[in-house]
């Protein structure tokens, strides 16, 4: 089961990361790039959980937790910059 599912999941995650990267590189305005970064953050959190499943180590889930809590900081800073505050 895992031999079938994991390659498909890796393909999907790679495709999603590629799409977010294309949006970050070619996005004409800054809000496009900020949304691309936010999407990439969510995909990366899912990727870390996938690694925890593959390596059978529960400590990797803590990294996903820390990452999900702290990755908002950058996007919020960019949003505040765009709104003109800060």
Partner 1 sequence: MAEILQYFMLFLIVLMLALALFAVKTKDLLSAVIASGFISLVASIVYLYLQAPDVAMTEAAIGAGITTLVFVITVRKTKGKEK
How far is residue 34's CA from residue 66's CA, in Å, rounded to a whole number? 20
Is residue 53 a contact point for partner 1 (CB under 8 A)? no
Residues 6+ apart with CB under 8 A from 54: 6
Q: How many CB atoms lie within 10 A of CB 17?
A: 15
21 is a contact residue toward partner 1 (CB under 8 A): yes
Whole-number Å distance between alpha carbons of 71 and 69: 6
CB of 30 to partner 1, least distance (A): 6
What residues make contact with partner 1 under the rule CB under 8 A?
3, 6-7, 10, 14, 17-18, 20-21, 24-25, 30, 33-34, 36-37, 40-41, 44, 47-48, 51, 54, 57, 59-60, 62-63, 66-67, 70-71, 73-74, 77-78, 80-81, 86
């Amino acid at each position: 089961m895992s031999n079938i599912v994991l390659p498909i999941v890796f393909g999907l995650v790679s495709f999603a990361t590629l799409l977010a990267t294309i949006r970050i590189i070619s996005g004409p305005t800054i809000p496009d790039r900020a949304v691309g970064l936010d999407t990439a953050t969510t995909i990366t959190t899912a990727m870390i959980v996938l690694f925890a499943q593959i390596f059978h180590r529960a400590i990797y889930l803590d990294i996903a937790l820390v990452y999900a809590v702290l990755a908002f900081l950058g996007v919020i800073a960019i949003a505040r910059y765009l709104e003109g505050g800060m």
